[in-house]
Amino acid sequence: MRILFLSVGKTRTSWMREGIDVYADRLKHYCAFERNELSDIKQRAHLSVEQIKEQEGMMLLKNVTSGDEVVLLDERGSLPSSESWAKQLEKKMIHGVPSVVFMAGGAYGFSPAVYDRANELLALSRLTFSHQMVRLIFLEQLYRCFTIIKGEPYHHS
């Protein structure tokens, strides 16, 4: 299965980039993993929140094909345990889902067009994290899912 992780804006701090790189490299052992940090919108100070979400949404959707399953990281999404999320991911692999695109939006969330294209909403927590932290937390949890699926001694129940 191919997994693409799209996020809006660049990871700015070196320690965060290092952590993200660690998990991104580990994930390549389990799947065809790619990530793409999309550039911030230019001259955003002159735009409304809705215009920013619209432009970010267009950038995100340019990276999606018709056969992709799209999962938005969204605070209103389902809130599974690591074990149950691993089971959901394993079902996608068993059923031959060829490609899953996970998206982390910008500071204002997603445009209506992105919500319309989404197959699923996934929350990492009911707490609010910075969009920089979401990247690291998500990749660690995705790695954890694969170790659970493979029965490897990373996750402790």
Instruction: Go through the domains of the chain in sequence order and give each one's CATH number.
Output: 2-150 (3.40.1280.10)
Q: Is 21 helix (H, G, I), strand (E, B) or coil?
A: helix
pLDDT tens digits for range 104-125: 999 899 999 999 999 999 999 9
Candidates 89, 96, 34; CA nearest to 67 is 96
State the distance between the two ends of the chain, measured CA to CA, in whole angstroms: 26
Structure-block tokens of residue 102 = 């996970």
CA distance 1 to 31: 6
Give this prediction's pTM.
Answer: 0.95
Determine which helix (DSSP H) or strand (DSSP E) holds 93, and give its type and residue range: helix 82-94
pLDDT tens digits for range 32-84: 999 999 988 888 888 999 999 999 999 999 999 999 999 999 999 999 999 99
